[in-house]
Structure 1
Amino acid sequence: MGTFRKILLLLLMAPLALMARAGTGTGKLEGVLNGYVTDAVTKKPLPGVTVSAFIPGTNNLKEVLTDSDGYFRFPELPGLQVTVEFNKKGYQSYKKRNISIREKTPVRVNVEFTPEATDDDSANGEFPLLRMLDAH
């Protein structure tokens, strides 16, 4: 009878073990992605940058904004590869592909954001007018 009880106990415990494992083996592991965005020229934090995380193979998109310190955080991303895009008016868009999200290990991505090029012709166009006004 001892063997029978052991088999019965194993049969009763097997579904519980499978249910416990189901939460960790389905690819639904979640990790944290965070970081800072700074201006590449001034090295100062950039608030209000839209940071978008694209999960490949899905239509799933998550977005956050950087805070006053240029900090962003995605608290729950699936444990796989994501593409992150950074956008702010007056700056060049930046995309970082294939960032591996790991369970229980925060992944940090720091970005120096480059301002868009200014039109030198329009800036220099004011100088002749100023010189003409100074001449009178």
Structure 2
Amino acid sequence: MNFPSELKYTKDHEWIRIEGNEAIVGITEFAQGELGDIVYIDINSVGSEVAEGDVFGTVEAVKTVSDLFMPITGTVLEVNEKLDASPELVNTDPYGDGWMVKIGIKDPAQLETLLSADAYKSQVGA
């Protein structure tokens, strides 16, 4: 299982990649494996500020629907449009083409509360 060291992680299995004042958010390889085959992504929060820990969308797999939680407070700037036609990208490339949203970071200090790759790896028992 892959745990890219340049990313930060949440206990709810989201990852975040910092790019200046913006960040990319997705779900981890562990999370997509637990969900199984992903068939639909529902994110309607573009333009909205979403607080840390709040739901910014849902991911639907064959057997379940799971909420997506915002790792830090930010404004949703963009949703990955590729997921509309190909939600399975979350399964095949969760840290690349399967990203979910791009956000504008409101409070960079919140990044300090996120898990490192090693801490997340320990949490999931890998």
Q: Same fold (TM over 0.5)?
A: no
Normalised TM-score (structure 1): 0.25
Larger Rg, first or second structure (1 or 2):
1
Normalised TM-score (structure 2): 0.26
Quick check: which one's helix share is greater? 1
